[in-house]
Chains A and B, each alone.
Chain A
């Protein structure tokens, strides 16, 4: 879908329907800002439940392990079971929304999956059946990641050409808020229920999880209201249902350039040293640094807290300077340093965790946009889907491995294992740098050079063929572009905490656009 075209048609409708809107109060008028803000509120809380419940196990690690009589390896199964369905669903989510359910029904269905998954999860705890809890996480995983897709699609459909950047930013902040609130609140809830029940046990855990399922009920309500409002807007504005517009063609995989594979490896090697670590972090801070469980939960959520404000700033910085590989290198090295600190020193872990939060945000800002530089626009959906898919695969496998290592070898070994993952990421970044320098690729160019190249590119269309494959002519892009790369990328970044109001892909686009204006 060519967004400029649609925007124009929407504007036209706006003019036509002017008389209708005169009869409505601003709050009920789909074209009015006030109404959009109302929609935005529902949109933001749509994902709240899933983000809140995603890290329930991490926030209740000791309780889950004690009440269900688990070792760490089986505890980490809860995270692995979340990731397994998403190895496949990364490719399917967009398709299901566009072709099968439509955005409204799809959103409701995914919210239902999230709710039912969480209820099964809680019921497993109530009934003291761990396999049921795992099944719950699986169902939850089916809904959770796809719900993020739906959320972004809604945002594009309502705010395209308007306050879209801000809306994406807000949605991601809500995601971080959900995770942070969960980390800091759910342990307290458990404590209160324990006091009321008189003792801890799987029932206490079950009730706590049921209570956190209420956030999913809340999110489902948001999905229903959004569905209603969206249909109402469709009737009034005669607009179409929003589409993700993703095109996934698995055969594209064999055309992926070497540098994209390197980016995939960096992505997997990096994130497997972050998310499983956060999943296991709470007890680590209690055991090694003598933190109270409240402090431990707070420090465990600091990565999320930092990423919220740091991402836009760092994203802006990366956009303005270019040189993505250097930024990725810096992020990987600082993450490595913070893991080294956590492993080999007794320094206050707030230092290491803050550093980790910063480098994690930096990496997300610098790494994910690189994909857009090495593949053609029409392959972006496939490339990001693939990246997300193997990332989920990596997370599932490494979660299990991390649990097993912790059980038999302890935290030092676990940290060394994460350090080795970071070293692999580091080696791959260095390889990417060398390969990029060798082939004179554009990954590590400064922003100004990129702009110059783009300028030269659009000046002579013959040059386009000579340059990199992704540098298709502007017209080509218009036809093949499945979705603005910005929106598309955003859908993949929501889980990763990249809150970029200044996305580099768009900057690349905008440098092209500036060219037109000239």
Chain B
């Protein structure tokens, strides 16, 4: 019986301690007041080129404010500015901003309140011919690569705003590939913690916003085409960029994906993470995917870039020697179907300040495990006590005649 008990104690300990790393540490759960403004303060005669927008999302906390700025003049970019006051505002000098003449066209004021700023820019869309089906662009000969689509040359046609979500689509109108296809970006801002129901269902909190990139109906230039995205991040000087890949045991929100990649930025002489771009290494080949439409993606190590990316927003905001890093995210794995199998790819990244959100088990799983392991335990205790009492009583009754 003691062997049996120790077994159960072991399994109980197992359940209590093993998931503990997952149970706690989910980030801020407070709410922010989110408001969205398109082209703040833009008045004629200043006009933006057709299809170009500057979106300002203001997420007001109890004693701080997050400004998310998205602009598609030049390469599309998402800028995040964290200020330690609730009074901070975004000021755009429109003529300067439109002319992209110098830095300072867009400022967050008061400037002293700015704690941290960082931007994520999508600069290029690479296409390469993967004849050997290895899905490894780093080891694919340069001759297999087609001239990349420069996102700064894209013409943006579609712009939708609903609530805290903006969708914007465009394409390279000089290329035949985009006659029926579009490159779409969807930016979502969040008031509080949660996750989208659509895969990959990244956990977000009020300190983050999500960017979904999708490549819809683009004609591949060759049958064996695969794509990869060139991303750049621009941050304040004194910050380092690093991509960490964490293994996770929890794939309930993103079936069969057990990893999460985090491009964190942290001060040179500190280990505290100030901001991040987080994604799961998976892309989906259909707009409403099932498991087999998932395709893994991989990234290269970030490398420092000499020049700022060609984005109006970045050029207007960053002035004091910002740091730029770049990396490629490529889609597909050896042996996987090529792009033209579905003519669709979507990939999602979360950008925010503070520590990246950490997935934890759903309440459902915790409840199931508690019931599943608790029931036999209770049964065993009750049963053993019952048998023991029965044995005692039968023994004592057995002795009675002797007395």
Could you tell me which A residues sit within 8 Å of B by CB distance? 62, 65-66, 69-72, 199-200, 283, 287-288, 290, 326, 329-330, 333, 336-337, 340, 343-346, 406-413, 416, 419-420, 423, 426-427, 430-431, 433-434, 437-438
Contacts and interface: CB of A to CB of B under 8 A. Distances in A.
Contacts of A287: 251, 256-258
A198 to B, nearest CB: 10
A71 B292 contact: yes
B249 A412 contact: yes
Contact of A408 (B7, B255, B372, B387): B255
Q: Which 6 residue pairs are nearest across A and B when measured between Cβ atoms?
A: A410-B255, A410-B251, A423-B372, A434-B383, A426-B376, A344-B18
30 contacts: A62-B335, A70-B292, A71-B290, A71-B292, A199-B133, A287-B251, A288-B251, A290-B247, A326-B3, A326-B4, A329-B4, A336-B11, A340-B11, A340-B15, A343-B249, A344-B18, A344-B19, A406-B291, A410-B252, A411-B251, A411-B258, A413-B252, A416-B365, A416-B369, A419-B369, A423-B375, A423-B376, A427-B375, A427-B376, A427-B379
B386 to A, nearest CB: 7
B368 interface: yes
Contacts of A66: 335-337
Given A66-B337, A72-B292, A438-B390, 20 more contacts: A62-B335, A70-B292, A199-B133, A287-B257, A288-B249, A288-B251, A290-B247, A330-B3, A340-B15, A346-B247, A407-B291, A409-B252, A409-B255, A410-B252, A411-B256, A412-B361, A420-B372, A423-B372, A426-B376, A438-B387
Contacts of B337: 66
Contacts of A326: 3-4
A412 B255 CA distance: 8
A333 B369 contact: no
Contacts of B292: 65, 69-72
A333 B377 CA distance: 12
A333 B251 contact: no
B222 to A, nearest CB: 15
A143 B255 CA distance: 36
B321 to A, nearest CB: 39
Kindly state the interface size class of chain B when it binds its partner.
Answer: 35 or more
A416 B368 contact: yes
Given A412-B249, A426-B376, A333 B7 contact: yes
A412 B250 contact: yes
Most buried by A among B18, B256, B380, B386: B256
B373 interface: yes
Contacts of A345: 18, 249
A69 B369 CA distance: 34
Contacts of B305: none
Nearest to A66: B335
Contacts of A409: 252, 255
A434 B391 CA distance: 13
Contacts of A70: 292
Contacts of B257: 287, 410
Nearest to A342: B249
A431 B365 contact: no
Contacts of A62: 335
Contacts of B7: 330, 333
B10 interface: yes
A431 B386 CA distance: 12
A498 to B, nearest CB: 23
Interface of B: 3-4, 7-8, 10-11, 14-15, 18-19, 133, 247, 249-258, 290-292, 335-337, 361, 365, 368-369, 372-373, 375-376, 379-380, 383, 386-387, 390
A321 to B, nearest CB: 13
Contacts of B10: 337
Contacts of A336: 11
Nearest to A288: B258
Would you call the interface of chain B mostly helix, strand, loop, or mixed?
helix
B375 A283 contact: no
Nearest to B254: A410
A199 to B, nearest CB: 8
A419 B368 CA distance: 10
A437 B372 CA distance: 24
Given A329-B4, A340-B11, A406-B255, A434 B387 contact: yes
A437 B291 contact: no
A71 B375 contact: no
B335 A200 contact: yes
A167 B249 CA distance: 44
A419 B14 CA distance: 13
A267 B346 CA distance: 45
Nearest to B259: A290
Contacts of B369: 416, 419
Nearest to B14: A340
Contacts of B258: 287-288, 411
A346 B249 contact: yes
Contacts of B18: 340, 344-345
Contacts of A329: 4
Nearest to B361: A412
A504 B332 CA distance: 54
Contacts of A406: 255-256, 291
A50 to B, nearest CB: 29
B282 to A, nearest CB: 10
A281 to B, nearest CB: 13
Nearest to B293: A71
A287 B280 CA distance: 13
Nearest to A407: B291
A426 B375 CA distance: 9
A477 to B, nearest CB: 32
A133 to B, nearest CB: 17
Contact of B380 (A283, A411, A430): A430
A430 B379 contact: yes
Contacts of B372: 416, 419-420, 423
Contacts of A330: 3, 7
Contacts of B250: 412
Contacts of B379: 427, 430-431, 434
A407 B255 contact: yes
A381 to B, nearest CB: 32
A255 to B, nearest CB: 27
Contacts of B247: 290, 346
Given A72-B291, A434-B387, A413 B365 contact: yes
A344 B247 CA distance: 12
A337 B14 CA distance: 8
Most buried by A among B133, B250, B255: B255
Given A410-B254, A438-B387, A344 B249 contact: yes
